[in-house]
Amino acid sequence: MIRASSPPTIVFDLDGTLAETAPDIIGTLNVVLAQEGLAALPVSVARDLVGAGARALIERGFRLYDRPLSPEKLEALFQVFLEVYAGRVADESHLYDGVLGALDALANAGHRLAICTNKPERHSRLLLDALGVTGRFAAIAGRDSYPFFKPDARHLTMVIEAAGGDVRRAIMIGDSKTDIQTARNARLPVICVPFGYTDVPIESLEPDLVIQHFDELAHAIARVTPALV
């Protein structure tokens, strides 16, 4: 039985929150663009395209070349993207500074940890395996793990339950409007980082707190925990 005083479950987004993954995602996009006779995009230009999923990324990339895609063509390119990305999911991706220490501190304090991402579960696990952190999470939910995905609250609440946590005592950690909306829909607090994938300053979206470094996470969690049931 979960006591009301138990440490809350901490649920993390993945891309742009725990790990810098844009170089590999954009590298995969460039393979798809090259297949269609288009030039590669530098990370400095294309990083802002990341954050809304692979289909949106492909559409945005082709839009830069004034190349609209039919639904059928987009789906075909999406399937190519998934297979290419699986083979290079962590060639250049890495955890942000301070992540490992923060995960250790939270685990030592008794928190259950989980992942809630709109990245497909297969690629999420491949990435987490390559980064050496899969075993730190009690549950991992990708976009296709359940019938629902962010910002639907059920994506978040179902992974909390899968981790053995209480859906009334959990905190979302993310980097985007989608993460904030998901937490709000689940009536849970949300803490954000400002260095991820968002097209507007994360502060303007009014999460409960913004941290500049993962060294600040434990303190931020302590600040929002009293608001939980």
Any idea which residues carry the catalytic annotation?
13
Neighbours of 226 (CB within 10 A): 7
Closest CA to 74 of 56, 87, 89, 53: 56
Cα dihedral 210, 216, 222, 227, rounded to 10, equals 0
Spatial neighbors of 77 by CB under 8 A, at least 6 apart, are 32, 35, 36, 58, 69
* CB-based contact 83:54 (threshold 8 Å): no
Closest CA to 102 of 188, 207, 211: 211
Spatial neighbors of 157 by CB under 8 A, at least 6 apart, are 167, 186
